[in-house]
Amino acid sequence: MGSCFSGDNSAPSPELPFQPSGDNQHGSRETQPPVNAADVQLNLEFDGKDFYDTYHLGNVIGEGAFSKVYSATVKKPGPNQGLQVAVKCIERNNLPKEDEEDLLEEVRILRSLKHPNVIDIYQFFKDDPDNYYVSIEYMRGGELFDRIVKKAFYNEKEARDLCRILLDAVRYCHDLGIVHRDLKPENLLLTSQHDDANVKLADFGFARSIMGGFVSTQCGTPGYVAPEILRAESYGTSVDMWSIGVIVYILLGGYPPFHDENQTRLFRKIKAGNFKFHPEYWQSTSSEAKDLIRRLLTVDPKKRLTAAQAVTHPWLLSKDDDLLKHNLGVNLEQLRLFNARRKLRAAIKSVLATQMMAGKFNIEAL
Whether residue 309 lies inside any domain: the answer is yes
Whether residue 6 lies inside any domain: the answer is no
63 and 131 inside one domain: yes
Whether residue 26 lies inside any domain: the answer is no
Whether residue 23 lies inside any domain: the answer is no
Under the banding of pLDDT at 50, 70 and 90, the label for residue 4 is: very low
Under the banding of pLDDT at 50, 70 and 90, the label for residue 180 is: very high
Helix (H, G, I), strand (E, B) or coil at 329: helix
Q: What are all long-range contacts of 281-284, with beta carbons under 8 Å and residues at least 24 apart?
A: 281/253, 281/254, 281/255, 281/330, 281/331, 281/334, 282/252, 282/253, 284/326, 284/327, 284/328, 284/330
Q: What is the pLDDT of residue 102?
A: 87
Looking at the 3D structure of the chain, how many domains does it have? 2
CA triplet 346, 351, 357: central angle to 5 degrees? 105
How far apart are the C-alpha atoms of 30 and 33, rounded to whole Å? 8
197 and 235 inside one domain: yes
For the chain, how big is the Rg over CA atoms in Å? 20
Spell out a b/e string for 242-276, using b for 16 or more CB atoms within 10 Å of the CB, else e. Answer: bbbbbbbbbbbbbebbbebeebeebbeebbebebe
- pLDDT tens per residue, range 89-123: 999 888 898 888 888 888 888 888 999 999 998 89
298 and 186 inside one domain: yes
- Residue 282 predicted with pLDDT over 50: yes
- Residue 88 predicted with pLDDT over 50: yes
User: In sequence order, what DSSP letters do the residues of 7-73 get, joined into one string?
Assistant: --SSPPPTT-TT----------TTTSPPP-TTTTHHHH--BHHHHHHHEEEEEEEEE-SSEEEEEEE
Residues 6+ apart with CB under 8 A from 149: 332, 335, 336, 339
122 and 168 inside one domain: no
- Residue 157 predicted with pLDDT over 90: yes
Question: Taking residues 184-200, what's their average pLDDT?
Answer: 91
Residues 6+ apart with CB under 8 A from 356: 218, 363
280 and 213 inside one domain: yes
How far apart are the C-alpha atoms of 59 and 162, rounded to whole Å? 31
Helix ranges (DSSP H) in 231-262: 238-253
Compute how many other C-beta atoms are within 10 angstroms of the C-beta atom of residue 31: 11
Q: Of 85, 105, 137, which residue sits at a domain end?
A: 137
337 and 232 inside one domain: yes
Supply φ then ψ for residue 42, to 5 degrees.
-65, -30
Consecutive H or E run containing 135: strand 131-137
Reply yes or no on whether 182 is catalytic.
yes
- pLDDT tens per residue, range 73-85: 999 888 889 999 9
Q: Of 137, 168, 201, which residue sits at a domain end?
A: 137
Compute how many other C-beta atoms are within 10 angstroms of the C-beta atom of residue 278: 10
Q: What is the pLDDT of residue 45?
A: 52
67 and 192 inside one domain: no
Beta bridge partners of 57: 72
List the catalytic residue out of 102, 120, 127, 182. 182
274 and 301 inside one domain: yes
What is the domain extent for residue 107?
Answer: 41-137
User: In sequence order, what DSSP letters do the residues of 169-199 get, joined into one string?
Assistant: HHHHHHHTTEE----SGGGEEES-SSTTPPE
- Residue 320 predicted with pLDDT over 80: yes
202 and 308 inside one domain: yes
Residue 152 maps to which CATH number?
1.10.510.10
Instruction: Return the closest-CA partner of residue 74 out of 87, 63, 61, 60.
Output: 87
Under the banding of pLDDT at 50, 70 and 90, the label for residue 328 is: confident
Residue 257 CA, chain-centre distance (Å), reads: 19
334 and 354 inside one domain: yes
111 and 148 inside one domain: no
- Top pLDDT among 365 and 332 is at 332
Residue 51 maps to which CATH number?
3.30.200.20
Residues 6+ apart with CB under 8 A from 166: 117, 183, 188, 199, 201, 244, 247
180 and 202 inside one domain: yes
CA triplet 25, 23, 26: central angle to 5 degrees? 15
Q: Across 94-98, 187-191, 361-365, which has the greatest mean pLDDT?
A: 187-191
Whether residue 22 lies inside any domain: the answer is no
Q: What is the pLDDT of residue 199?
A: 94
Whether residue 17 lies inside any domain: the answer is no
Q: Of 109, 137, 165, which residue sits at a domain end?
A: 137
Whether residue 99 lies inside any domain: the answer is yes
Whether residue 354 lies inside any domain: the answer is yes
